[in-house]
Amino acid sequence: MRVVVPLAEGFEEIEAVTIVDVLRRSGIQVETAFLEKNQVTGSHSITVAADKNIEGIAVSDYDCIALPGGMPGSANLRDDSRIVGLIRDMAAAGKLAAALCAAPIVLGSAGVLAGKRATCYPGFEGQLGGAIHIPEPVVRDGNVITGKGPGCAIPFALELVAALAGAEAAAALKDTMQVYWM
């Protein structure tokens, strides 16, 4: 299994690092991708070195795209035609599209949430592109997983593990990591 995590200026650090860390703990290959430069600064002034340029990303190389939220990171992802196109192509190929916090607005903009159940950070519900808003920490509907906010980063990442590696793998990792909330 391979996952790409795009990082845009202003991303939510706790979400991005949690997604990458939890997936890698489960043995899933994860690469971060930058939009402009490989040193990407998050919304709390933490700079992360991304693995590769978004230009080098091919849909056929990945099973999932997972978007961390944060502002203006989510808006920067939403406004990047390469990201929107990648999400559309991955969804069309039946691959997993996941977004946390404010980032479901990117899925909404890409048109992959219409008629699906989804959650997001409070205040972004109107930008979900026809999704049925469910105010839960993590919502999975088919090949789409959404999470509500930074405090939901671990349950969100564990849901990604369940979708990609199976419920048993997620349960084992939850136990190993001593996650008691969920």
Active-site residue set? 101
CA nearest neighbour of 64 among 130, 127, 176, 156:
156
- At residue 57, what are phi and psi to the nearest 5 degrees? -90, 125
| Interstrand relation of 47-49 and 39-41 (parallel, antiparallel or unpaired) | antiparallel
For residue 39, the SS3 value is strand
User: Could you tell me where the beta strands, DSSP code E, fall in 38-154?
Assistant: 39-41, 47-49, 52-53, 64-67, 96-100, 117-118, 132-133, 138-141, 144-147
